[in-house]
Homo-oligomer: A and B are copies of this chain.
Amino acid sequence: MSEVAVVGVGQTAFTRSCGVTIKELCFEAFKEALEDCNLYPKEIEASLICSAPEYDKQRSPAGAIVEYLGLNPQPTTYVENICASGTTGVRLAYSLIKSGLHDIVAVIGFQKMSELTSREAQERMGRGADIMWDSPFGLTMPAGYALYARMHMKTYGTTEEQMAEVKVKSSKYAVLNPKAMFQREVSLEEVLTSRVISSPLKFYDCSANADGASCVILASAEKARKITDTPVWIVGIGSASEPLSMANRTSFVGLNCAVEAARQAYKMAGIEPKDVDVAEVHDCFTIAEIMAYENLGFCNPGEGGKLVQEGQTYIDGDFPVNIDGGLLGKGHPIGATGGSQVRTIVMQLRGDAGRLQVKRAEIGLVHNIGGIGLYGNVLIFRR
């Protein structure tokens, strides 16, 4: 029997530029999550604040944010695994509750990427790789995933059309998600003819920077049942890491950290991939979603391209994936992304996903990756 549940979720719209401070941005997501479960700030016993720190001038943003949210004197901790920070926050919140230290914990993820100029942001990107052996050559996030994409194509015959299909699917659902940044359906042709960023990845193969915040409130079983009639239980948690330096990696056809995190999560939940009714995967690039299908066991290695091309990951397929637009459709405000994925799965399992509702969704999965396959978190939820 699982003993920690998600009781409240909130998210701001993801936008190109939010125009407010990170404190004000987080307040909006936190307020929505509190209203979702009828709690007040004083009832939150601890918080985890998740983001990538290089985008803010405020050092130790956790202190600034919890003050603004009315979360003093409760403890808070800043947590970072780059793009996987949000689900790491959920993993730690789970452990803080399960360990008996706290009963109700809030996980707040945010990023205001518009805070920096484009030049400043590109400079940060250069330092996201191994600064000793990889950054001196000009490695970027798209280039890193492009190395995987080329290897996947070479090894399995995956095509640029199959990758483009991922973006087509994302844009289809993003237009039905009012909190998504990208509000226009794009065609296969548009994806394939967009300008090359790092071959074989093109403009529409890449997710976009965004501003946004998300909030997930977790509670112990006893508290959860008092707070809500629709707790969503965390039944599986997996987490793993991969060498940062490209030279020390053993595979370029999939993310080892995702495979390992998935193995742990399935084992803890006592389920198999086929039991997953709805999933959110980390599609920072189109190839990343295709590898996610394979690394999560939704198909065999090499069959990911076919899976999306055959429509199996659409809302009515065998494995509905990113039925909220994903990172490609919603935008990718680094620290807020994991919490947004959890929010979507929680709404799906509650049956509150509206026009994006997947039928008979009882088991949901979140796959959240940090860096170029550097950190992998997989969470499994059950209603």
**In the complex the two chains form, is B244's CB within 8 Å of A67's CB?**
yes
A23 to B131, CA, bound (A): 12
- In this complex, the member of A58, A63, A64 whose beta carbon has the largest number of chain B beta carbons within 10 angstroms is A63
CB neighbours (8 Å) of A240 from chain B are 73-75
Which of the residues B58, B75, B99, B371 comes within 8 Å of A131, measured between beta carbons? B58
CB neighbours (8 Å) of A374 from chain B are 60, 63
The 0/1 profile, CB within 8 Å of B marked 1, for residues 95-115 of chain A is: 111111100000000000000
**In the complex the two chains form, is A73's CB within 8 Å of B375's CB?**
no
**In the complex the two chains form, is A60's CB within 8 Å of B80's CB?**
yes
CB neighbours (8 Å) of A81 from chain B are 60, 62, 76-78
Closest Cβ neighbor of A88 among chain B residues: B77
**A275 CB to closest chain B CB, in angstroms?**
22
CB neighbours (8 Å) of A92 from chain B are 77, 92, 95-96
A28 contacts the other chain (Cβ, under 8 Å)?
Answer: no
A312 contacts the other chain (Cβ, under 8 Å)?
Answer: no
CB neighbours (8 Å) of A101 from chain B are 91, 94-95, 98, 237
**In the complex the two chains form, is B74's CB within 8 Å of A241's CB?**
yes
CB-CB under 8 A for A59 and B124, given A64-B130, A76-B241, A257-B73: yes
**In the complex the two chains form, is A72's CB within 8 Å of B241's CB?**
yes
A128 contacts the other chain (Cβ, under 8 Å)?
Answer: yes
A288 contacts the other chain (Cβ, under 8 Å)?
Answer: no
A256 to B74, CA, bound (A): 11
Which of the residues B53, B57, B71, B128 comes within 8 Å of A53, measured between beta carbons? B53
A248 contacts the other chain (Cβ, under 8 Å)?
Answer: yes
**In the complex the two chains form, is B99's CB within 8 Å of A63's CB?**
no
**A110 CB to closest chain B CB, in angstroms?**
15
**In the complex the two chains form, is B130's CB within 8 Å of A73's CB?**
no
A261 to B60, CA, bound (A): 19
A132 contacts the other chain (Cβ, under 8 Å)?
Answer: yes
CB-CB under 8 A for A77 and B74, given A58-B127, A67-B244: no
**In the complex the two chains form, is B98's CB within 8 Å of A82's CB?**
no
The 0/1 profile, CB within 8 Å of B marked 1, for residues 30-69 of chain A is: 0000000000000000100000111001111011101100
A257 to B58, CA, bound (A): 21
CB neighbours (8 Å) of A63 from chain B are 241, 244, 370-371, 374-375
A243 contacts the other chain (Cβ, under 8 Å)?
Answer: yes
A289 contacts the other chain (Cβ, under 8 Å)?
Answer: no
**A254 CB to closest chain B CB, in angstroms?**
13
A160 contacts the other chain (Cβ, under 8 Å)?
Answer: no
Closest Cβ neighbor of A77 among chain B residues: B88
CB neighbours (8 Å) of A201 from chain B are none
The 0/1 profile, CB within 8 Å of B marked 1, for residues 112-146 of chain A is: 00000000000010011011100000000000000
**In the complex the two chains form, is B64's CB within 8 Å of A60's CB?**
no
**A115 CB to closest chain B CB, in angstroms?**
11
Closest 4 CB pairs of A and B: A75-B239, A98-B99, A95-B99, A63-B244
A selection of 13 A-B contacts at a CB cut-off of 8 Å is A46-B239, A53-B53, A59-B82, A62-B241, A63-B244, A63-B371, A64-B130, A67-B241, A67-B243, A73-B241, A75-B241, A77-B79, A78-B79
5 new A-B pairs (CB below 8 Å) besides A62-B241, A64-B130, A94-B99?
A: A52-B59, A53-B54, A75-B240, A80-B80, A95-B101
